[in-house]
Chains A and B, each alone.
Chain A
Amino acid sequence: MLSFLGRRLLQLIPTLFFVSLIIFSLQQLLPGDPALVMAGEERDPDVIEQIRKQYRLDQPVPIQYVYWVKGVLSGDLGESMRIKVKVRDLVVEKLPVTIQLASMAIVIALAIGITAGVLSAVLKDTVWDYAANVFALWGRSTPTFWLGIMMIFLFSVQLGWLPASGYVRPSEDFWGSIASTIMPAFVLGNVGAAVLMRHTRGAMLDALQSDYVRTARAKGLFERAVVLKHAMRNALTPVITLGALELGELLSGAVLTEQIFSIPGFGKLIVDSVFNRDYAVVQGVVLVTATVYITLNLLADIAYVLVNPRLRS
């Protein structure tokens, strides 16, 4: 286990190096003089000169990279050009909102995805199986932002049950917070539910055809016990680790969902900084996202080894 962990951590070093290189290189894509582009409306030569100094744009690119990485490693993700706030502070402020949203979404995705997946495997080739497959295809093919808009139309405009946009912190008003995030969480969890359903169904079908399930049935166990205790427990291990990866995907989905529901989280921070041409924030946020994603990946791998005794040696 320890050697596995060591190898897995060592592998992270080149990956993180390339991630930092990609994110740093984004800056090189800016058309024309980056200092001018970063300054935006500002045309004061002093300000432009200051930007050039601050980002060391007057120095060779490799040196710029070294300084940038040095900053990142000491926790300095740069500063917002527009609102003059440290990117780190922005991240710390916005991330909890997105974590709340993503956690709710993953619960919804797991609940729907696993239930539908198990049901469709157990009831293979029935109407239920067919319906679950249609649901999975629908989930994969529906753009989240459209689903969000349609849900706002139905539940906010037509029925008036839920607020169309905005966010309430759970510390202020718990139920208000749930009401403000349940629709976006469902929209966000929808795609994940479809992915999880397909994997659960596949894993369950394999498990139901396995020898140990046949043995369990032969022992005369009730079908319910066979499905819930024998088949499901084995089938769900890979699905749970997949859930951790889905959580990373949710960060991506949160960009659009938060935009539609005006939720001041991480995703909206990216979009706002793109609109404001606040490039340092875009870079910082992408870096944090990648780090979170890589960490979740690592945890998923470790969890997979932990729950799978055959891999533990």
Chain B
Amino acid sequence: MADATLTAPLLDDAAAPAESPVRRALRRLVRRKGAMFGLAVIVLFVALALCAPIVAPYDPTAQSWTSVRKAPSWLHPLGTDDVGRDILARIIFGARASLLAGVISVAIALAIGVPLGLVAGYVGGFLDAAISRLTDAMLAIPFLILAIALAAFLGPSLRNAMIAIGVTTTPIFVRLTRGQVMAVKVEDFVEAARAVGNPPRRVVLVHILPNILPALMVQASLSIAAAIIAEAALSFLGLGQQPPAPSWGSMLNAAQRFLVNAPWMAVWPGVAIFLTVLSFNLLGDGLRDALDPRER
């Protein structure tokens, strides 16, 4: 989000006199019901995560042996788990781990991937070849398997899971950035910027980067969705958030053993993951359509 506000003036420079591209994209985004639904759900979950201690009805780690595996009721709207913890409270606090993992992993991927992609695309030559082959190699290992291997060797924790997912997501951004740079750098305005004597760094950061931001934003939104699923998967396997701290993935892992007696334990964490991932996918799709210059 910080990116969007930062780039607004930069994109405005190149704007048509009537309506700036940013305004037009925003106007088209607002018209898309799916994207707006996604955005609303994301805002809701972010608010829940931020205000978790205030809105959660119970302490998410407080065990109670008198209320083990209780079905949903007025006292516990989503029921309780195998050690009597309130599931609603754990879902609300679990939003922190999921959203944090989604955003931080993608931030890591952007921080490493975009500079590498800029260098590979703009400089070319040997550097490009080396970076591209490394990217190919990373993409040759299926996403989740590389993430699991990295998390396993780094050791199980939420922090390491985020690093593992971030590193695994990086090649997507290298490839995307590189491709976009190669397409933009032959445009006349880049040629002009070079001709008036701008140093390469300035050409790349001021003239090329703002133009590839829309594509990066779309991919970032879709990658956050994938990262949230990946974090849930790693936590489900015990490689992410460690107990007793709540996370949606580890809640599902525990739920698996009590499917016969306490199915509600399995329903809600899954619904939470589904809704969050769906929302980021909807927002990503909406952004892509809104930012597509071919569509008016």
Q: Is the CB of B142 within 8 A of A251?
A: yes
- Digitize A274-313: 1 where CB-to-B-CB distance is under 8 Å, 0 elsewhere: 1100010011001001100110010000000000000000
Which residue of chain A is the closest to B134 with respect to CB atoms?
Answer: A18
Tell me if B89 counts as interface (CB < 8 A to partner A). no
Q: Are B153 and A30 in contact (CB under 8 A)?
A: yes
User: How many chain-B residues does the 8 Å CB contact rule pick out?
Assistant: 43
In whole Å, how far is B95's beta carbon from the nearest beta carbon of chain A? 15
Interchain CB contact under 8 A, B273 and A143: yes
| A14-54 vs B, Cβ < 8 Å mask (1 yes, 0 no) | 11111101110011011100000000000000000000000
Residues of A within 8 A of B140 (CB): 15, 19, 290, 293-294, 297
B148, A274: Cβ atoms closer than 8 Å? yes
Q: Of B46-54, B172-180, B181-189, B256-264, which stretch is located at the interface?
A: B256-264
Q: Are A290 and B141 in contact (CB under 8 A)?
A: yes
B25 within 8 A of A: no
Report the separation of the CA atoms of residues A150 and B270 in the bound assembly, to the nearest whole angstrom: 9
Bound CA span A251–B144, Å: 9
Interface residues of B in 120-152 (CB under 8 A from A): 133-134, 136-138, 140-146, 148-150, 152
Q: How far is the CB of B252 from chain A (nearest CB, A)?
A: 6
- In the complex, how many angstroms separate the beta carbon of B282 from the nearest chain A beta carbon? 7
Asked if A193 is an interface residue, CB under 8 A from chain B, the answer is: no
Q: Closest B-chain residue to A259, C-beta based?
A: B237
Does B232 lie at the interface of the complex (its beta carbon under 8 Å from any beta carbon of A)?
yes
Q: Which of B141, B260, B270, B274 is within 8 Å of A286, CB to CB?
A: B141
Q: A297 vs B142: C-alpha distance in the bound complex, in angstroms? A: 12
Tell whether A141 is near chain B: CB-to-CB under 8 Å.
Answer: yes
Q: Is B236 an interface residue (CB 8 A)?
A: yes
> Do residues B233 and A145 form an inter-chain contact, with CB atoms below 8 A?
yes
How many Cβ-Cβ contacts under 8 Å join chain A to chain B? 134
Say whether A78 faces chain B, with CB atoms less than 8 Å apart.
no
| A227 surroundings in chain B (CB, below 8 A) | none
CA distance A302 to B229 in the complex (A): 32
- Known A15-B137, A143-B232, A248-B142; contact A149-B148, beta-carbon cutoff 8 A: no
A152 within 8 A of B: yes
Which residue of A is nearest B256, CB measured?
Answer: A149
Distance in angstroms from A61 CB to nearest chain B CB is: 15
How many residues on A have C-beta within 8 angstroms of the other chain's C-beta atoms? Answer: 50
A260–B229 CA distance with the chains assembled, in angstroms: 16
- Cβ < 8 Å to B, chain A residues 3-23: 14-19, 21-23
A215, CB-defined interface residue at 8 Å: no
Decide yes or no whether A175 CB sits under 8 A from chain B: no
Are A31 and B238 neighbours in the complex by a CB distance under 8 Å? no
**CB <8 Å contact, B263 and A289:** no
B270 shortest CB reach to chain A, Å? 3
Residue of B nearest to A141 (CB): B278
Q: Does A27 contact B256, Cβ atoms closer than 8 Å?
A: no
Q: Does B165 contact A (CB under 8 A)?
A: no
Judged by a CB distance under 8 angstroms, whether B154 is at the interface is yes
Question: In chain A, what residue has the closest Cβ to B138?
Answer: A22
Which B residues touch A289, using CB under 8 A? 141-142, 145
Question: Is the Cβ of B150 less than 8 Å from the Cβ of A255?
Answer: no
Q: How far is the CA of A248 from the CA of B145 in the complex (A)?
A: 11
* 30 CB-based A-B contacts, threshold 8 Å: A14-B136, A18-B133, A18-B134, A18-B136, A18-B137, A19-B140, A22-B146, A23-B149, A26-B150, A29-B150, A137-B278, A137-B281, A141-B278, A149-B259, A153-B263, A157-B259, A164-B259, A248-B142, A251-B142, A252-B142, A252-B144, A253-B144, A255-B144, A255-B237, A256-B233, A270-B145, A274-B152, A274-B237, A274-B239, A286-B146
Residues of A bordering B, CB below 8 Å:
14-19, 21-23, 26-27, 29-31, 137-138, 140-143, 145-146, 149-150, 152-153, 157, 164, 248-249, 251-253, 255-256, 259-260, 270-271, 274-275, 279, 282-283, 286, 289-290, 293-294, 297
- In addition to A259-B237, A274-B149, A282-B149, 16 A-B residue pairs with Cβ atoms within 8 Å of each other are A18-B133, A21-B137, A143-B233, A145-B232, A146-B274, A150-B270, A157-B259, A157-B263, A164-B259, A256-B233, A260-B256, A274-B148, A275-B238, A286-B149, A293-B140, A293-B141
